[in-house]
Amino acid sequence: MTPTRVGLIDDETQALKMFQWEFGEQFEVYTFISGEDALAALADGLVIDVLISDQRMPKMPGDSVLVAIRQRFPDIQLLITTAFADVEPLRRCVNEAGVYGYIEKPWKPDLIVKMVEEARAKQLQKELENTRTQAHIKAWEEKTRGRRIGDIRSICNVLELPETVADKYLDVVTKVASTHTSHWTDVGLLSESDDDRIALDFLRACQLICAEEPRHSNARHTDSIPLVRSMELITRCSGPPGPSFDVTKEEGRLTVNFDACGAFGDSYLDPLSARDQETLFRNALLLLALAEMERVGWSLTVDPREDRLMGSVTFPT
């Protein structure tokens, strides 16, 4: 097992040397002549498990050092040591730095060993808990996403769309939609029945768009519908200064390059996405636009930019 990495901050070189001599064989010891030195070393990537700081030091006092370390390196266990009975800094060490213990000077080596070992044990327990929590969050995200991918395939079946549309939808939405970082408190907030309701809302949004189709495509040939839907999608995602287009012609095909200047928005696949009608509508519109493109041999390519909907629609001429 790796020895515990213990740091000591003290403005007296004698104290640092004594600490190194006393505990150097038992722990991996690092010493710092000031709080600033310790902070710089940690910022440079030095890993320390338990850090002990003297309170009275000329530049940065111990309580300020420990509060700064707690804010920037929350996993380090902290101990304060002092020969003086200054109450306010000690109170700050407890309330703001969350120190594990207080060691009076002159040290009793046994007490240092006991406190360091206890603090390290607490740290390991927290690490284990965090690892388990992260694994649990990941599993929950994957399960929810898997369920929603299944929903998209079912929606395609109900609407009699080819399954390749679902795959294309997953590809596009993964590239352009924004996702949210889950926290353990999110886990379990969304029940399976809520998820079923969202899937039904998604299906209703698709059906609503399909029902409104004649109004949009009035007097147009069916082949122009993909462009209508694509245009509506781009318009819905547009931001200032508004969407822009350019057209490139190559032999046998025409490509409309677009930049909506705005974000596509939340992904239906994201467990933490917004569940409002607009989000569902936009996602449904994308699915249907892709279905129409698939039907008439067009294709949509998007740039993988989460903050902006941009890409190109290509069709044969």
Partner 1 sequence: MTDWKTRIVFAGPDGKFPAPELSGLGDVIHISFAETRLPAYDLLVLVDPPLDWLERTHLERVTGAVSLLAMSSPTAQHIRVGLNRLGVDVICDIDAIYIEVERLRSQLWTARAKQAILSLEQESQ
Which residues contribute to the site for partner 1 (CB under 8 A)? 82, 84-87, 90-91, 94-95, 98-102, 104, 115, 129, 132-133, 136, 139, 184-185, 187-188
- DSSP at 273: S
**By C-beta, is 25 or 88 nearer to partner 1?**
88
| Nearer of residues 17 and 114 to partner 1, judged by Cβ | 114
Return d(Cα 48, Cα 52) in angstroms, integer: 10
* Neighbour order of strands in the sheet with 101-104: 28-32, 5-9, 50-54, 77-82, 101-104
Residues in the chain: 317
Contacts of 151 (CB under 8 A, 6+ apart): 195, 199, 202
Structure tokens at 11: 């403005």
Residue (91 or 197) nearer to partner 1, CB: 91
CA-wise closest residue to 231 among 289, 192, 295: 289
Least separation in angstroms between residue 67's CB and partner 1 is 15
CB-wise, 131 or 157, nearer to partner 1?
131
Q: How far is the CB of 169 from partner 1 (least distance, A)?
A: 30
Task: Give the nearest distance from C-beta 107 to partner 1 in angstroms.
Answer: 13
- The amino acid occupying position 190 is L
Of residues 84 and 245, the one with the C-beta less far from partner 1 = 84
In the complex, the smallest distance separating the C-beta of residue 271 from partner 1, rounded to whole angstroms, is 15
Q: Between residues 31 and 64, which has the closer beta carbon with respect to partner 1?
A: 64
Shortest reach from residue 95's CB to partner 1, in Å: 6
User: What are the Cα distances from residue 171, in Å, to 175, 231, 295?
Assistant: 7, 20, 18
Q: DSSP letters of 201-256?
A: HHHHHHHHHHHHHHHHTTTS-GGGHHHHHHHHHHHHT--TT--EEEEEEETTEEEE
Cβ at position 39, least distance to partner 1 in Å: 23
